[in-house]
């Protein structure tokens, strides 16, 4: 009788302890020293987890040209890395985030040494962005926060798009160095479309990214144009070509806009900064 009573109490104690053990295991399994070696995973990480769990982000996110929208105060307080394995090893992270095509040598070395490295593919659509946010949420144990980030993005996107005047999307000619333009099947095109415009590449029937002759650029009369580039120091023939007289003449006759590069580099909520600028330009154009 005494043995059965003792056994029963032991079983009850173990049963009551199981949830506590599971909670302790989950808390222990949740990464607490996370390092990002990629500009785009920097932004997703800073939006998703408490800064106290971030061991390092890339130095790129601390540069004004790249700083993610609304995250400057967080980024400037975090230790920065340059994607070097030596830097990452010293931090002893329990989770490392990297891009599929960046810092590949360092990633291979870190994996060989037994570190947990998770790579993220570049986003080509908003759907890709949502998938990467969910992927990171699952890795860090912040699935609910990931869904909230997505919901906030979709809500703001819908608010902006509700302001776009009706009618066919006019052409936005964003002309980069060497007449570099963007067509269908790219994240950039999806951003421009979400803001109420078509890209010059789409108007010319192109997909992906390409350089085109200036003569071909001039066959389309855009409703909005951008030729600004941050990459002018030091100057080069490619950046000086943006001052071609024919192009200057087109710019002089066309409403101009400057979209900070940091608003379109990554598949992340910073994209809303570009969409907002485009929607305002579209509204201003329709008001004339």
Q: Where do the CATH 3.40.50.1980 domains begin and end in the chain?
A: 34-125, 171-287
Q: Quick one: pLDDT at residue 230?
A: 63
Backbone torsion region of residue 205, taken as left when φ is above 0, otherwise alpha when ψ lies between -120 and 50, otherwise beta: left
- Classify burial at 258, counting beta carbons within 10 Å of its beta carbon; exposed 0-12, middle 13-18, buried 19 or more: exposed
Question: Under CATH, which number does the domain 171-287 receive?
Answer: 3.40.50.1980
Quick check: 81 and 59 in contact, CB under 8 A? Answer: yes
Residue 106 has which token pair?
Answer: 């360092």
Q: Quick one: pLDDT at residue 154?
A: 98
Q: Quick one: pLDDT at residue 233?
A: 63
| DSSP-assigned beta bridge partners for residue 198 | 171
Kindly give, in sequence order, each residue whose CB lies less than 8 Å from that of residue 124, ignoring residues fewer than 6 positions away: 185, 186, 187, 190, 267
Q: Quick one: pLDDT at residue 67?
A: 87
Using alpha carbons, list the distances in angstroms from residue 110 to 17, 101, 269: 37, 15, 29
Which runs of consecutive H residues, i.e. helices, occur in 143-186?
Answer: 143-161
For 200, the 3-state DSSP assignment is helix
| Spans of the chain below 70 pLDDT | 1-28, 230-234, 286-288
In whole angstroms, what separates CA 169 from the centre of its chain? 25
Determine the Cα angle at 69 with ends 271 and 281, to 5°: 55
Q: Quick one: pLDDT at residue 21?
A: 38
Question: With respect to CATH, is domain 34-125 assigned 3.40.50.20?
Answer: no
Please tell me the pTM assigned to this model. Answer: 0.84
């Amino acid at each position: 009788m005494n043995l059965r009573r003792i056994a029963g109490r032991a079983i009850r104690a173990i049963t009551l302890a199981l949830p506590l053990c599971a909670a302790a295991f989950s808390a222990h399994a949740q990464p607490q020293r996370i390092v990002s070696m990629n500009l785009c995973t920097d932004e997703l990480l800073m939006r998703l987890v408490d800064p106290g769990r971030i061991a390092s982000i890339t130095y790129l996110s601390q540069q004004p040209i790249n700083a993610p929208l609304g995250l400057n105060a967080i980024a400037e307080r975090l230790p920065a890395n340059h994607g070097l394995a030596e830097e990452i090893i010293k931090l002893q992270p329990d989770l490392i985030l990297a891009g599929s095509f960046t810092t590949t040598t360092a990633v291979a070395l870190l994996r060989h040494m037994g570190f947990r490295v998770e790579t993220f593919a570049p986003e080509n659509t908003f759907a890709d962005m949502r998938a990467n946010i969910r992927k990171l949420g699952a890795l860090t144990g912040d699935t609910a926060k990931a869904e909230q980030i997505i919901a906030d993005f979709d809500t703001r996107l819908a608010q902006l798009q509700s302001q776009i005047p009706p009618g066919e999307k006019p052409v936005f000619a964003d002309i980069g160095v060497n007449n570099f333009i963007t067509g269908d099947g790219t994240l950039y095109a999806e951003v421009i479309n979400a803001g109420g415009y078509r890209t010059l590449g789409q108007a010319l029937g192109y997909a992906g990214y390409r350089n085109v002759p200036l003569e071909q650029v001039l066959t389309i009369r855009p409703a909005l144009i951008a030729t600004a580039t941050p990459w002018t120091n030091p100057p080069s023939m490619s950046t000086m070509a943006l001052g071609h007289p024919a192009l200057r003449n087109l710019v002089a006759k066309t409403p101009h806009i400057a979209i900070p590069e940091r608003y379109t580099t990554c598949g992340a909520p910073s994209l809303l900064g570009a969409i907002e600028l485009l929607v305002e330009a579209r509204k201003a154009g329709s008001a004339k």
